[in-house]
Each structure stands twice: as structure tokens, then as C-alpha cells.
Amino acid sequence: MVWDDSFTSFFFGPPSVVKPWLERMREFYEAVKGEHELVPPERASVELLKVVHCDSLVSKILELNEEGGVIDYGDTYIYPGSLETLLAVFGGTLKASELASEEGFAYTPYGGLHHASRCRAAGFCPANDVATLVELLTRKGMRVAYLDFDVHHGDGTQEIFYARDDVLTLSIHMYYPGFYPGTGWYDELGAGPGKGFSLNVPLPPRTGDEAYGAVLELIVKRAVENFSPDFVVAQMGVDGHRSDPLGGLLNLTTNTYYRIGKMLRSFDPPVAGTGGGGYGRASVRAMLSELGNAPDEEPTPSPPEAWSRIEEVLKYFEENIPWF
Ligand SMILES: [Zn+2]
């Protein structure tokens, strides 16, 4: 597991969410330090930020690192000196991939900044570490599956690889009018040669553990098996947990996160997992259960609309994606 002390220094959201995020990181550290070997990453270079991002976005990050300020429409903050944490996050995600190559599965608790697209910061994400890792792996000739379990659509990563057939992006998220970021309907399949390689599973509110489990079995496992990637990069956000103050509306419990962790470790190719979203204290426990602790909650049932949505999505994939 990857750890850098600067993970507890800064977060890129507005002041109201900085405190709970950093508390999550500290609790995570206290909980795992005795149990797991913690490997420090090397700090990434500023050049690494340019692997998938426009120079204009990188210049803006460097500029705001001096005086601080908002870098997007109002959600994403660069605090003075926070570049150091951002580079540690990027380094942490790369380190997780190195460890995964050796050990099969590795995890970094920060990272998964999936809302940043090529030239634009968004949703507490100044720049996209997971997309950067995916791009670097493809430069080594690998086919990569990017799996996004955060309650919010992985829109930035999807945009960056939308026209690529060597990268599968698969995002499972809540979709509901007014819920951030508002994209990720199942007909967003990719463009040009990338058509059929962007998969989205938009779930209704209160989907629950039972139906989410069916998504893992019927869609995620099947997609990974049939796409047959050389490497898997996962955004393991836990903000779909029912106690999460920003995203708990999917009504998930630690049972779902336990299952995701188990599934990821069962895949043949190496899997690098990143923390993603999750802003409540219960999410810390959920995150730990991803890493192997037994769940202590009853699984939540699923309403008819969740089951019918899954059927609808499956049918659409089967009709429109030849390889699926
Ligand atoms: Zn999220």
C-alpha cells in the first residue's frame, strides 16, 4: 500500500470539504499503519502533469500554487503550496501500478482525480492522475481497463480516452437530474475507433447492495473478461456508501466495497486501485473493508427500478457492443 505524509496536508475541494477529507486520510493512516507495509512514492515531476493535460491547465496550476484560488467554475481549489500534494498523489498512483505489477493488487488511498479532463479542472480534481497512469501504460503497448466505482461519473477520464480502442473506460455511478456531473448515460459509448469502449452504468438513487452486486457480476466481470486487458486501473471511490454526506444516495454498505475489493483481487492482470471520493467517517470503514475486513452491515435490498435499469443497460450493451 502506498502512503505519503503529504496526503494529509491538502485537498483540492472548497474549505467545507477539506476538513472531512483530511480526517479520512488521517483515520486511514492510523488504521492501516500497523497492518500493512506502507511504501512512499517518489514525487512526480511537473512534466508528468502534461502527459494528458493541456499546457494551459498546467500553467494555471503552477500560477495558483503561489497565491491560491479557484481553478474551475467554483468547486476546485489550489491552495498555496498544494502542488506538492498533487505531485505526491500522481507519484502515489504510479507507485501503486509498480507495486501491482509485482504483487497483483496495490492501493493508494489518495488519487482517482477522475473529473479533470484534458484542458479543464473540475469536481475537486485539478489534474487526472488515473488518466495519466492509463496513458503511460498504453505507451508501453498495454491494453488498459479503467474501472470507476465512485458514485460520480468518471467524466474526465472518459473524455480523455473517448476515441481510443486500446482503453476501456467503465463507470458505475448514480444518475439523477441535478446530481453531479450529470453525464454518463449508457448511450455514451465512445467515438470513432473508440466506439464501444466507453461503458456507463447509470444507476437510480437507492440502488442498494443487491443490485450493485448484480452489476459487478453481469457487467463488470464480463467486460473485463471479454476486453482482456493487460492492466486494470481502478477508481475505488467509496462515496456511494449510505452514510456519505455528498453521495450516499445509492444506499450502499460496506458489503458492496468488500465485494469490489474481492473482485479486483481475483482478476488476472495487475490492478492498481486509487482512493477516489468518500467524505464521511463511515467511508473510512468501507475503504478498509475493500482491503479485506469482513463487512459489519446488513446488505441493503434494491427497488424494482434498479433491477430494470440493469436489464435495460445490459440489453443496450448486447445490441451495440460487438465484443461485449
Ligand atoms: Zn465522487
Q: What is the pTM of this model?
A: 0.96
Q: What confidence score (pLDDT) does residue 105 get?
A: 93
Distance 162 CA to ligand 1 centre (A): 20
Per-residue pLDDT tens over the stretch 187-198: 999 999 999 999
Give the contacts of 154 (CB within 8 A, at least 6 positions apart): 114, 115, 146, 148, 169, 171, 173, 184, 235
CA 228 to chain centre: 20
Backbone dihedral angles phi then psi of residue 151, each to the nearest 5 degrees: -70, -20
Cα(104)–Cα(120) distance, integer angstroms: 33
How many other C-beta atoms lie within 10 A of the C-beta of residue 323?
Answer: 11
Residues with catalytic annotation? 115
Where are the extended beta strands (E) located within 65-197? Answer: 69-70, 77-78, 105-108, 144-148, 167-174
Q: Apex CA 247: angle with CA 257 and CA 82, to 5°? A: 90
Name the residue ranges covered by the structural domains of the chain.
5-320
Pick the CATH number of 5-320 from 3.40.800.20, 2.60.40.10, 3.40.190.10, 3.40.50.720: 3.40.800.20
- Compute, in angstroms, the gap from residue 322 CA to the centroid of ligand 1: 30
pLDDT value, residue 209: 95
- Ligand 1 is an ion; residues with CB less than 5 A from it: 150, 152, 237, 239, 277
Give the residues of the chain that fall short of pLDDT 70. 247, 279-295
Distance CA 306, CA 319 (A): 20
Q: How far is the CA of 242 from the centre of ligand 1 (A)?
A: 13
Question: How many angstroms does the Cα of residue 236 sit away from the middle of ligand 1?
Answer: 10
Q: Give tens-digit pLDDT for 71-87.
A: 999 999 999 999 999 99
Question: What is the whole-number distance in angstroms between the Cα of residue 180 and the centre of ligand 1?
Answer: 9
